[in-house]
Amino acid sequence: MLSCGLRNVVAVLGVLLLGCNQSPKKTAQSDVTKTDVTEQDSPTPDKTMSDLSTCTSLSACAAHDGKRVQIIGTYTVESPLAGKKGGGGSTLSLIDLGDGTVLLEPYWHQDVVRSDEEIARCRGKKVRVTGVYHAKPVPQPGAPDAVSYGGACVHPVEKVELD
């Protein structure tokens, strides 16, 4: 009786070990993410910065949701908690496109707090931002149901330069 139980355990372990060595099955969502962000939109010798789509309005950016783009607009800074009880000096940097704004990184990401140097250099000026455009807030890892601030964002932001 014990030997039958042991054989079953060995058989189960064998199936588990074989399963670990096989490639994981792709889901429709993982295919979209890999194709849209990694393969098509990563910088390669064939896809230089000049080959990227350029957006100068929020409506134009909408056609490139989930894609690597260059966004041209005015660098602005907001303090969403300014004047509110407990509100501190935290600021958010956005790109004003005239018909809407695009946040530089999701509100929960550590890089949403831009450097003092970048803010001083770019505030109120026309800039070109390179990164992946998201029309809706990017869910926070580990908390996909958390409420997100704002709407459209660039994540990850690769480069911010004066235009």
Task: Name the range with the highest mean pLDDT among 34-48, 71-85, 94-108.
Answer: 94-108
- 144 vs 107, more confident: 107
Structure tokens at 124: 């109120």
Mind listing the pLDDT tens digit for each residue in 77-106?
Answer: 998 765 555 545 578 999 999 999 999 999
Side chain identity at residue 52, one-letter code: L
Q: Is the pTM of this model over 0.95?
A: no
The type of residue at 152 is: A
Residue type, 89: G
As a whole number of angstroms, the distance between CA 162 and CA 49 comes to 15
Q: What is the pLDDT of residue 26?
A: 34
> In order of start, what are the domains of the chain with their CATH numbers?
46-162 (2.40.50)
Beta-sheet strands, E only, within 5-152: 53-55, 68-78, 92-96, 101-104, 126-134
Structure tokens at 90: 């935290």
Structure tokens at 98: 């005239």
pLDDT of residue 80: 73
* Strand 92-96 relative to strand 101-104, pairing: antiparallel
**Which residues touch 119 (CB under 8 Å, ≥6 apart)?**
75, 77, 91, 93
